[in-house]
Amino acid sequence: MPKRYQLLIFDWDGTLMDSASSIVGCIQQASADLGYPVPSRQAASHIIGLGLTQALYTLFPDMPETDIPRMADRYRACYLGQDAEIPLFDGAEALLGELHGRGHQLAVATGKARHGLRRAFEHTGLGRYFHASRTADETHSKPHPAMILELLDELRVDKEQALMIGDTSHDLEMARSAGVASLAAGFGAHPAEHLEDFGALRVCDSFTELAQWLLDNA
């Protein structure tokens, strides 16, 4: 079957890795440790996908600049203490292997820092499937379109041949701003009903549904 999309760009947390709960817990723990109001699960989930600094300013717009690195360090210490144990969604590795074998170019666009993505690649062994990646400490954070535009330029792919797959409104807004199609993972950080108004080709309710859609349509 001819490939409809030459390039498939995946978000990481909440899309390939079942990490949303861990991220929320670490944000809440870091907030409590520094004496800030502990954000609700909904509020903490909403900032998943943003770069860490932008995420903290979104949660705490009046936070003194000097507290940002302190909060970021507390969050990283919490998350990096458990990231090796966080599982992929069932079927994620098999899906990436199948798509790679079919000749798709695969990329990652994530709110993680480069160090965090490198650790994720090492822990999961999935790095071998990806042709390129962008992290929030290397370029503009989502929903700015820079990550996608830079990947398109690096891999020499036209916008019409690229698909963004992500679980947050930040992913879908980024795709729309970059002029590429998107597929929504409604089982991740943002609830499915929150993703319905961002122009995704489909909002998938499970990883199984998302994988099957890609195998049938990508």
The answer to whether 31 touches 71, Cβ cutoff 8 Å, is: yes
The answer to whether 163 touches 5, Cβ cutoff 8 Å, is: yes
pLDDT higher than threshold 90 for residue 3: no
Picking from 17, 65, 49, 207, the residue whose alpha carbon sits closest to that of residue 142 is 49
pLDDT tens across 115-144, in order? Answer: 999 999 999 999 999 999 999 999 999 999
Sequence ranges of the domains in the chain: 7-19+88-217, 20-84
**Same CATH fold assignment for domains 7-19+88-217 and 20-84:** no
CATH number of 20-84: 1.10.150
pLDDT tens across 38-61, in order? Answer: 999 999 999 999 999 999 999 999
Cα separation of 49 and 150, whole Å? 18
Of 11, 18, 83, 167, which is the active-site residue? 11
Question: Domain 7-19+88-217 adopts which CATH fold?
Answer: Rossmann fold (3.40.50)
The length of the chain, given as a count of residues: 218
pLDDT tens across 52-103, in order? Answer: 999 999 999 999 999 999 999 999 999 989 988 999 999 999 999 999 999 9
- Residue 90 annotated to the active site: no
- Residue 62 annotated to the active site: no
